[in-house]
Amino acid sequence: MSAPNLPKVAGIDPPASAPAQTAAPLDDLTPPPGLLLQDRLAGWVSDLTTLHELIERLAGTGSLDDALNEVLRAGAALVGARRGLVVCEPADGLGPVTTLGLGLAHAELGHLETVPRRATSYGRLLDCAAGRAEPVAVPDLLGDTELDPRQREVAARLGCGASYAVPLATAGAPEPKGLGAAVWFYDEPAEPAERQRHLVGLYARYASEHLALLLELERARTRTIALTGELLPGRLPRIPGVRLAARHRTGPYGGGDWYDALALPEGAVGLAVGSVSGSGPGAVAAAGRLRASLRAYAVLEGEDPVAVLSDLELLLRLTEPTRTATALYAYAELARGSVVLAGAGHAPPLIVGAGRAEFVETSLSAPLGMLACWEAPSVEVSPEPGETVLLYTDGLLRRTGEPMDRAFARLRAAAAGVPEAVRDDPGAVADHVLGAALPGEGAGVASGVTGRGGPGGPGGYADDVVMLAVRFD
């Protein structure tokens, strides 16, 4: 019995076998040009977004060291490294010279510094003219026999397989200005891709401009600090019956806070603190002139604090008509154990002893330069033997970042908490009060030597702070 015939359908020949699959797999298909362009644009947008975020973080730094640390972290992320080193060494030779590491301990930085400078990639960049400096890649630190043996030895000890260094230089005119160099270390032999080189190059270009601005600010601040140190007392006088200590913290812009102490006839001592409005070298110079004038008035009529401040008011109005100032002057007669003082818009002194931490009740008065004729009554206090009187500028109160009433409460609480073991040392008393009132800002600088303060207190303020501690024996 024969098999039935299959029906014929147009276009189909049933006995014919199906042809073999000859079409290319979907994965091997060439994507259309539009899709390639879209992927490339997406990659560019991602890179630009990353670069923008890193630049925003860098722009938020306010000090040279913070900016250099941020450059290290951002560069490591861009080139895919874990450790790095940045050297700030301005080509003009004016400093400052700084070396910072990322993921490197102090001992490891010391090992790197034993490598001859000319043998390191960042050393060659530092010694090269800024306009001709190009990034230096060393893909294999251990296998490259042309490298300095000491460099390969240190690389093996630290576990560094490769490095990539970029110069830090501004595009200044007529020629670029070299600032330093940064190098990042890979754990294994490696080399950044072209895309990574491009991104870190763009970042280094912006970072160099930002670093140059911070460098100028750092230099200006250093000059202001030096000027302030010259205008303040180099050392405090040694006077029988009283011990003195001073602390001065300078803000980032340099202010006009000052202090003074001088021995007067008949065993008396004159004490003064003050603050001039404004900041920068002008305010520092004005504070120096005011302090020098007060010394002259104190010698002439120091036993009358009101007369001293009245003379200072007249001088300020005649010589500095656009400025105002606060000041407090005290005349201490050690034989009688009394202190007569007057203040012009200044914060009241604080008496610290075993049984009390109290503010002296002074009369309210406007600052110098705000009235046609200044005059306010003086007050007299009698500190007990062993007590310390703290005279300070209002920068201490503002630097807490709190309202004035709470700032005064914080200051009094800090004074009340002075340990008994350090009450005999006026410097230790001042350090404790400053440390408790301004936590996180470190110890003060002693005996009239100006020191670098932080960028501001907890509230973001950056005022100068002066404290003069007077212990009565």
Here the tokens at position 50 are 């990353």
Last residue of a domain, one of 178, 197, 223: 223
Last residue of a domain, one of 178, 203, 223: 223
Q: What pLDDT is recorded for position 370?
A: 80
Q: Is the peptide bond before 174 cis (omega within 30 degrees of 0)?
A: yes
Is 204 in contact with 167 (CB distance < 8 Å)? yes
Residue 360: inside a domain, yes or no?
yes
CA–CA dist 79, 59 (Å, integer): 20
Residue 14: inside a domain, yes or no?
no
Q: What pLDDT is recorded for position 377?
A: 80
How far is C-alpha 305 from the chain's CA centre?
38
CA–CA dist 296, 302 (Å, integer): 9
Residue 33: inside a domain, yes or no?
no
Residue 194: inside a domain, yes or no?
yes
Residue 298 burial (CB count, 10 A): 25
Between strands 242-250 and 451-452, the pairing is parallel
- Side-chain-side CA neighbours of 66 within 13 Å: the count stands at 12
The residue segments making up the domain with residue 258 are: 232-472
Q: Are residues 413 and 446 in the same domain?
A: yes
Which CATH number fits the domain that encloses residue 373?
Answer: 3.60.40.10
Here the tokens at position 392 are 């300070």
Q: Are residues 89 and 206 in the same domain?
A: yes
Q: Are residues 154 and 271 in the same domain?
A: no
Q: What pLDDT is recorded for position 447?
A: 39
Last residue of a domain, one of 204, 223, 242: 223
Give φ, ψ of 64 to 5 degrees.
Answer: -65, -45
> Burial, 285: exposed, middle or buried (Cβ in 10 Å; 0-12, 13-18, 19+)?
middle
Q: Are residues 361 and 258 in the same domain?
A: yes
CA–CA dist 473, 470 (Å, integer): 10
Q: What pLDDT is recorded for position 29?
A: 54
In the chain, how many domains are there?
Answer: 2
Q: What pLDDT is recorded for position 254?
A: 67
Is 305 in contact with 268 (CB distance < 8 Å)? no
Residue 5: inside a domain, yes or no?
no
Residue 31: inside a domain, yes or no?
no
Is 448 in contact with 246 (CB distance < 8 Å)? yes
Is 349 in contact with 341 (CB distance < 8 Å)? yes
Q: Are residues 216 and 236 in the same domain?
A: no
Q: Are residues 372 and 352 in the same domain?
A: yes
> Burial, 363: exposed, middle or buried (Cβ in 10 Å; 0-12, 13-18, 19+)?
exposed
CA–CA dist 193, 75 (Å, integer): 14
Ranges of the chain whose pLDDT falls below 70? 1-37, 39, 43, 130-131, 172-174, 252-254, 371-375, 440-462
Q: What pLDDT is recorded for position 34?
A: 64
| Structural element, H or E, at residue 196 | helix 194-231
Q: Are residues 208 and 286 in the same domain?
A: no
Q: Are residues 444 and 324 in the same domain?
A: yes
Using DSSP's 3-state secondary structure scheme, residue 265 falls into helix
Residue 218: inside a domain, yes or no?
yes
Cα R_g (the chain), whole angstroms: 35
Q: Are residues 358 and 294 in the same domain?
A: yes
Q: What pLDDT is recorded for position 253?
A: 65
Residue 34: inside a domain, yes or no?
no
Is 86 in contact with 164 (CB distance < 8 Å)? no
Which CATH number fits the domain that encloses residue 211?
Answer: 3.30.450.40
Q: Are residues 424 and 360 in the same domain?
A: yes
Q: Are residues 247 and 212 in the same domain?
A: no
Is 248 in contact with 445 (CB distance < 8 Å)? yes
Q: Are residues 205 and 295 in the same domain?
A: no
